[in-house]
Amino acid sequence: MINLFINGLPVSVEEGSTLLEAARFLGFPIPTLCHKDGLSPYGACRLCVVEIGEEPKAKLVSSCTYPAEEGLKVRTASSRVVRARRMVLELLLASCPQSKIIQDLASAHGIRQQRFKQEHEDCILCGLCVRMCQEQMMAKAIGFRSRGEKRSIGTPFDIKSEECRLCGGCMYVCPACQLRCTYTEPERPICGGCANLTPPCLEKRQFDDMMCFMDPCVACEIQKEG
């Protein structure tokens, strides 16, 4: 067993587990897009960032790929982490505003502005479908092609692959094409229609280390201040 601190709480987790697994097991929610149980960790979406270490040497790492270490101090919802996550979400929202999963995450994280150009891409290159095809379906029909801004996922030569059995696993796991967000107001980049989860007290004040079992309630923090 490995002993570490998550949000100040001393916990022990099994050796070899990642920070994401540890935090989720203990009930600390961490949002992810490119992580799925049964598939290898990939660290593509950067939504699962957590802060490790102590000031001034604290740094942000992706919790889905970072193994739990002895004595490590992890903060899963510090203001720095939340700020980073919001930026990631705003960027994801710019590339894929039609995805309901991303729109819901954006609503849950209180994103109220969109400073980037809307791209309406079909893919966020999270690689879930590639890993699904390779690791669960044992097919390896699709993969990454090219690189840089031309990077895309698909079959070789863009023709139907002989390995593909049309299982649909790739579509099942896709966060971008699985569910479409049906905008109430199509011209707005942020929907926020069905998942407006921010409690009213949060709008007024900012809290560091806002985290409790009743996420996103921050009654305890408010009490502490008062």
Partner 1 sequence: MIQDIAASGKQQVSPHETVDSKGIVRILNGHRQQRGGLISVLGEIQSQYGYLPEDALRVVADETGNSLVDVYGVATFYRSFRLQPRGKHLICVCLGTACHVRGAPMVVEEFERRLAIQPGQTTPDREFTLETVNCLGACALGPIVVVDGCYFPGVRAQDVGQILEKARLERVEVPSMVAASG
User: Which helix (H) or strand (E) is 73 found in, with range?
Assistant: strand 73-75
| Tokens linked to 119 | 């791209």
CB of 147 to partner 1, least distance (A): 5
CB of 7 to partner 1, least distance (A): 40
Binding segment toward partner 1, per CB under 8 A, in 2-10, 46-54, 136-144, 207-215: 136-144
Element (H, E) at 205: none
Q: How far is CA 147 from CA 119, 129, 144, 160, 170, in A?
A: 18, 17, 8, 21, 21
With respect to partner 1, which residue has the nearer C-beta, 157 or 213?
Answer: 157
| Beta-strand relationship, 2-6 and 73-75 | parallel
Q: For residue 74, how many C-alpha atoms fall within 13 Å in the half-sphere facing its CB?
A: 32
Contact pick of 19, 141, 170, 181 for partner 1 (by CB under 8 A): 141
In the complex, the smallest distance separating the C-beta of residue 140 from partner 1, rounded to whole angstroms, is 4
CA count, 13 A, side-chain hemisphere, 107: 17
By beta-carbon proximity to partner 1, the closer residue of 121 and 163 is 163
Give least dist CB 157 to partner 1, A. 6
Residue 156 or 168: the one with the smaller Cβ distance to partner 1 is 156
Q: Which of 120, 150, 204, 224 binds partner 1 (CB under 8 A)?
A: 150
Nearest CB to partner 1, comparing residues 120 and 147: 147
Minimum CB distance to partner 1 smaller for 156 or for 186: 156
Q: Does 155 bind partner 1 (CB under 8 A)?
A: yes
Distance CA 18, CA 85 (A): 19
Binders of partner 1: how many residues, by CB under 8 A?
Answer: 16
Looking at the Cβ atoms of 65 and 161, the one nearer to partner 1 is: 161
User: Which DSSP letter does residue 157 get?
Assistant: G
CA distances from 157 to 82, 124, 138, 162 (A): 41, 21, 20, 12
Q: Which of 27, 38, 146, 187 binds partner 1 (CB under 8 A)?
A: 146
Q: Is there binding between residue 142 and partner 1 (CB under 8 A)?
A: yes
3 state DSSP class of 100: helix
- Binding residues for partner 1, rule: CB under 8 A, are 140-147, 150, 152, 155-158, 161, 163
